[in-house]
Structure 1
Amino acid sequence: MKTLLSDSANPKSGDREMAGEVIRIRGGRPLTGRVEVKGAKNLATKAMVAALLGETASILRDVPDISDVQVVKSLLEVHGVVVEAGDEPGSLTFDPSGAVAAHFEEIDAHAGASRIPILFCGPLLHLLGEALIPDLGGCRIGDRPINFHMDALRAFGAIVDKSYEGIRITAPNGLHGANIELPYPSVGATEQVLLTAVKAEGVTELRNAAIEPEIMDLIAVLQKMGAIISYEPNRVILIEGVDSLRGYDHRSIFDRNEAASWACAALATDGDIFVGGARQQEMLTFLNVFRKAGGWFDVREDGIQFRRGGVLKPVVVETDVHPGFMTDWQQPLIVALTQAEGESIVHETVYENRLGFTTALVQMGADIVVHPHGLDTEGRRVPRRALEQAAVINGPTPLHGADVVVPDLRGGYSYLIAALAAEGESVVRNVGIIRRGYEKLFTKLDALGADFDVVG
């Protein structure tokens, strides 16, 4: 019998879910059923920050109930923003009219391991003339330098001072438009520029910008607030600064990362999962690889159904910025590829340490070799980067239960998939990290027929 009770049987099941740090899984059973995905973590948290820019209250809908959202909510409240439940389930309202400065200690206490505080810089500079950034956390998947952010803020006229507490950023002469070219199309740095440029005096031209669907959705949020933003070919975004912005009412784009994760779970466990809320357009690249690997999917008006289409086949994948294959998709896919007949190769070109999670998969019986400096293989389309790695996966290999510790968000979810596909019992520790990006994780696993207990 599972430790987790259903929502109807236990009104506080959500509290239980947030408390669980260790789960014991008995694998070897296909996951079947339906799950719903809400708004994207990578949009919702940024749209919440954008509410600071408005002179009136904002409403965000389809907000996922995940720990990253709770972190941003706490940070907004520390800065005097009133955050309340909205007019429908899963919606939040934000009233920034009482916004105030906060101390390093307060920000650090509420930020935890999140890297979100850095995106408060532009809005706080416009609102208060000062922003404080403590030491940054986040998943340990490789270098996420903040120099892209700091260089962009300096280009707007901000002054960046570092101290033992963190970083203090001021704008004594206000912020002005700038010409900025990113060394790499960083999602975070692109968001930083957007959130800063919309109220900076003059025009900002951002070159080599990230163009992920979540970025486009953030642009839609800012345009609703009164911003003037256009994008041109070749990753160029133009922002004309305005004097004031109003609040927004916006429904978040769906979480394509979670949708792809459940799709890979269906592939790995030989299950059949309908992902409500998933849409085809934002998942085109993933769907192509899913089909090549032997997956079958059916696009419907209210979501996408995923299952195996027969024998799993090996594939070669190169991660890349949008519209390429997302780095967040490769980790759950690798679990499924351990069951494909032949040799698959995954080239990770975005983060240098994102293949470390495969060590635990090898412990569970997978045949995976990581090449720390990448591989030159025929037909490469993504330009090689100095930091890239490659994983060679030979299958099919039976997986067996093991005791594993979650290293990061997507890698941790991949451990869950592996444990669910494996024969025998597995113990997965540090599950709290996974709750950063997966809403009602245990409830959804229960709905799909997973056999597990929440240990503590």
Structure 2
Amino acid sequence: MELTTASSQRGPYYRITGGTALEGEVVISGAKNAVTKMIIASLLTDEQCILRNVPLLGDMYLTMKLCEDIGSELSLEDHTLSIRTPDVQKTVISTEVGGLNRIAVLTLGPLLHRRGEVTIPAPGGDRIGPRPIDFHINGLRQMGAVIIEKDGHYFCSAPNGLRGTTIKLPFPSVMATENFLISASLARGVTIIENAATEPEIIDLIKLLQKMGAIIEIKVDRRIVIEGVERLHGAVHTLLSDRNEAVSLAIAAYLTRGDVYLRRAQQDTLLTFLNTLSKMGLRFEVDDEGIRFIGRETPPPAIALETDVHPGFMTDWQQPFTVLLTQAKGMSVVHETIYEDRFGYTEALIGMGAQIGLFTKCLGEVPCRFRSKEHRHSCVINGPTPLKGTRLLIPDIRAGCSYILAALCAEGVSEVYGIEHIERGYEHLDWKLRQLGAQIERIAPED
């Protein structure tokens, strides 16, 4: 795959020489998909919140900057973040920080509770298909918010405060569920989220909110019930480990026929992934401190899998697993049911030698929102095929990690550009790979 723009070559990049078996031990960082939401949840109180095991990555720093801009006092020491927001001094989230991802939409509840108004920019984020915030806006309107969209911004107010209501999500959206958990904790009355997401990061957020004084119950059939309270207080919380980082490094071990121990990898958050490995005859060993992943000399068998909402196979695991399937024996099928446009990265894999075809038909049994639509959301991989090093441009976090994994098992040298996506979502991934023996250099050309 050739780089599409000359500007792509100006920034830092990774130079990776493939073919080295990864061996050794690294520690899995705290969850990227939890830390930003917990920082925002701290805005619900004027007391100090302390978050431990926070991952040091771009998305967290961006969220810290957002909070600092509106009046938060933050202190980061090693992997412990202290945050206190005694007074919200600003209710307009700047485009500079709020327009780069979708985290600004989570500030609506806390700032409406504390100041009665807030303005946020239209969100940005990874290029993996439309990720509208309609679910968020519609639910908050049900709770009494007045929201006007104009000139690329959302102008929000709550003249009578937020109140409890029943919100039925059309799809178990993770971030919408998180938004309503945060917003409903201080709303008057009872809020019921129907068809809620129940990912491990959401459960961890509920743990933090409960420590702060929120009353939240998880019912059967994807219902979450929140009884609003008058005030919340500070709390101390240790984040769960990042299951996406664990999966990426585990697959790196299998691709390179290595032997890697991931300290702090948590079995309970990886059950579906580990079951899939067992079905392919791939070895792992679980103990109280982490999980060991042991590669095999012969190609694993092909498999059919489908992404699904938790507790199904996570959509963020799809890209790295597809790289693994290029080295499996036979024809594998991956059916993506969460995002309609998440196979763009396969073009790069094909350029490296993979045999991959994309189809609009649902090649699976999971009920799919994209059935009979023209989205290429099913993928067929024929393997094993040797991959060759090349030059790659990362489009988003998870695709970027898949490029790195492909380069690690490819013959020759690869140059991977657009690494800001990786550094936004992973803590020192290149350093951890080097600790395991990977030949990966971070090259920073002089301006």
Query: Shorter-chain TM-score: what band?
Result: over 0.9
Per-residue CA deviation, residues 333-384 of structure 1 (Å, 9 max, x unaligned), is 111110101000000000011111000000000001111x23345xx24445
Residue in structure 2 matched with residue 147 of structure 1 by the alignment: 134
Kindly indicate whether the alpha-carbon contact (under 8 Å) linking 1:31 and 1:266 is maintained by their aligned counterparts in 2: yes
Residue in structure 2 matched with residue 167 of structure 1 by the alignment: 154
What SS is found at the alignment partner of 1:220? helix
**CA distance, structure 2, for counterparts of residue 206 and residue 136 of structure 1:** 23
Kindly indicate whether the alpha-carbon contact (under 8 Å) linking 2:256 and 2:295 is maintained by their aligned counterparts in 1: no
Kindly indicate whether the alpha-carbon contact (under 8 Å) linking 2:335 and 2:363 is maintained by their aligned counterparts in 1: no
45, 48, 55: which is aligned to 2:39? 48
Residue in structure 1 matched with residue 402 of structure 2 by the alignment: 414
Residue in structure 2 matched with residue 446 of structure 1 by the alignment: 434
9, 12, 16: which is aligned to 1:21? 12
Residue in structure 2 matched with residue 295 of structure 1 by the alignment: 282
Per-residue CA deviation, residues 11-47 of structure 1 (Å, 9 max, x unaligned), is xxxxxxxx97311111111122212112111111101
Kindly indicate whether the alpha-carbon contact (under 8 Å) linking 1:38 and 1:254 is maintained by their aligned counterparts in 2: yes
103, 111, 134: which is aligned to 2:121? 134
**TM-score, with structure 2 as normaliser:** 0.94
**CA distance, structure 2, for counterparts of residue 72 and residue 52 of structure 1:** 12
Letter matched to residue 258 of structure 2:
G
Give the deviation of 1:92 after TM superposition: 0.6
Residue in structure 2 matched with residue 66 of structure 1 by the alignment: 57
Asked if residue 90 in structure 1 is aligned to residue 105 in structure 2, the reply is: no
Residue in structure 2 matched with residue 367 of structure 1 by the alignment: 355
Kindly indicate whether the alpha-carbon contact (under 8 Å) linking 2:308 and 2:366 is maintained by their aligned counterparts in 1: no
Letter matched to residue 96 of structure 1:
T
What SS is found at the alignment partner of 1:167? strand
**Unaligned 5+ runs, structure 1:** 1-18
Residue in structure 1 matched with residue 370 of structure 2 by the alignment: 385
> Which deviates the most, 438-447 or 72-81?
438-447
What SS is found at the alignment partner of 2:270? helix
Give the deviation of 1:165 after TM superposition: 4.2
> Which deviates the most, 405-414 or 383-392?
383-392
Residue in structure 2 matched with residue 103 of structure 1 by the alignment: 92
Kindly indicate whether the alpha-carbon contact (under 8 Å) linking 1:214 and 1:253 is maintained by their aligned counterparts in 2: yes
**CA distance, structure 1, for counterparts of residue 346 and residue 394 of structure 2:** 11
**CA distance, structure 2, for counterparts of residue 326 and residue 101 of structure 1:** 37
Give the deviation of 1:250 after TM superposition: 0.2
Asked if residue 57 in structure 1 is aligned to residue 53 in structure 2, the reply is: no
Kindly indicate whether the alpha-carbon contact (under 8 Å) linking 2:389 and 2:411 is maintained by their aligned counterparts in 1: yes
RMSD between aligned alpha carbons?
1.5
86, 105, 115: which is aligned to 1:118? 105
What SS is found at the alignment partner of 1:368? strand
Percentage of matched positions with identical amino acids: 46
What SS is found at the alignment partner of 1:73? helix
Give the deviation of 1:388 after TM superposition: 6.6
**CA distance, structure 2, for counterparts of residue 256 and residue 121 of structure 1:** 28
Give the deviation of 1:99 after TM superposition: 2.1
Give the deviation of 1:135 after TM superposition: 2.2
> Which deviates the most, 144-153 or 162-171?
162-171
What SS is found at the alignment partner of 1:413? helix
Q: Which aligned pairs between 1:243-392 and structure 2 lie closer than 5 A?
A: 243-309=230-296, 310-371=298-359, 373-377=360-364, 380-383=365-368, 385-386=370-371, 389-392=377-380
Residue in structure 1 matched with residue 424 of structure 2 by the alignment: 436
Per-residue CA deviation, residues 115-137 of structure 1 (Å, 9 max, x unaligned), is 11111110111011112211211
**CA distance, structure 1, for counterparts of residue 11 and residue 270 of structure 2:** 31
What SS is found at the alignment partner of 1:419? helix
What SS is found at the alignment partner of 2:407? helix
**CA distance, structure 1, for counterparts of residue 131 and residue 152 of structure 2:** 19
**Unaligned 5+ runs, structure 2:** 1-9
